[in-house]
Amino acid sequence: MVAHRYVDVNGIRLHIAEQGEGPLVILLHGFPESWHSWHRQLGPLAEAGFRVVAPDQRGYGSSDHPDAVDAYTILHLVGDVVGLIRELGEEKAYVVGHDWGAPVAWHTALLRPDMVLGVAGLSVPPPHRGAQPPLGMMEEIFQGRFYWNYFARPGVADAEFARDTRTALRKFLYSASGSASPSGEIRQPLVDPEKGWLAAMEDPEVLPEWLTEDDLDTLTESFAKGFTGALNWYRNLDRNWELTAPWADAVVTRPALYIFGDRDVVPAFPGARDLIDQLPQLMPSLRRAPVELAGCGHWTQQERPAEVNAALIDFLTGCEREINGGPGTVSDPS
């Protein structure tokens, strides 16, 4: 059974869902999601012998929503994971993230390898710090129409998405899924500043099989406090670029796994596919080549739960065998 409670970490209170016993696995959701995006992973990972914890990250769901924009930097988010591991009574954990949760997972492994047993990212590949701030770069490439730049404008997207939260979320989830692009065509997420982002998104008459009305009810309820906290993550993109300067060209050294869908827009971002193709050479810690899921869009673990669960369990149990003295034992940096 999934249990719910609150924990105080890093100066805020987080809501968590947890299940199982064994080595700790932290599951980090993305935008616009909540702990519930992992509900198809909690049981299978627990049955495989792991203690699985999925928080609502700061600014989301029932967790605290700090007011200050600069309370959502990558250092705050990594700090939340570090604090959560400690508050749960552990010294180390596996960290798994999807969408925005993936950069948090990757950076936790990058900044605190002593606390990470292994790391997996879904959709968003490992961090690559570009030569210029990301908002300025996308502003230049797409003449200010890239969705990051739209989200970064104070109060604008917040108001658009809050006008009809359920419809906004339904459009988000469908439009970025593999269900919306059966031909495999991927378009960059560009916004008409006059009309907003939702205007161009299809609103499905029937939900895809992987998304139920109950799922949508739960997610809609989780945004009762609005979207500002979640959007503040995007408003720190350039600040994160500045803060991570000391780790320029650093690579994740902990055992790693990367999973993505072939209809996901993120791997189609400028330069992303080249990075993914080079990952086996750039990251010797990868335990296998990047896992590409055919017909899968952005919502990786929700659209393809069976394949994602199998890959995660194989990765986690393989790491455990290595840690416990199997062939190719993982070195412990602590």
Over residues 133-149, the pLDDT tens digits come to 999 999 999 998 999 99
Q: pLDDT: is 128 or 220 the higher one?
A: 220
Q: What is the pLDDT of residue 328?
A: 41
Q: What is the pLDDT of residue 39?
A: 98
Instruction: Read off the pLDDT of each residue in 118-136 and give the average, rounded to a whole number.
Output: 93
29 belongs to the catalytic site: no
Residue ranges of domains in the chain:
3-323
Residue 41, token pair as written in the block: 């992973």
Instruction: Read off the pLDDT of each residue in 78-88 and give the average, rounded to a whole number.
Output: 98
The topology under which CATH files domain 3-323 is: Rossmann fold (3.40.50)
Q: What is the pLDDT of residue 326?
A: 59
If you average pLDDT over each of 42-51, 179-188, 319-328, which comes out highest?
Answer: 42-51
Over residues 4-26, the pLDDT tens digits come to 999 999 999 999 999 999 999 99
Q: Which of 36, 76, 107, 298 is catalytic?
A: 298
- 115: Cβ–Cβ under 8 A, 6 or more apart, which residues? 82, 85, 91, 92, 93, 108
For 130, other C-beta atoms within 10 Å of its C-beta total: 12
Q: What is the pLDDT of residue 200?
A: 87
**Does 332 have pLDDT greater than 60?**
no
39 belongs to the catalytic site: no
Q: What percent of the chain has pLDDT over 70?
A: 97
Positive or negative: CA dihedral 146, 149, 153, 155: positive
pLDDT class of 47 with cuts at 50, 70, 90: very high
3-state helix, strand, coil in the chain (%, to 5): 45, 15, 40
Q: Which of 80, 99, 215, 264 is catalytic?
A: 99
Listed as own residue / partner, the contacts of 180-183 with beta carbons closer than 8 Å and 24 or more positions apart are 180/204, 180/297, 181/263, 181/297
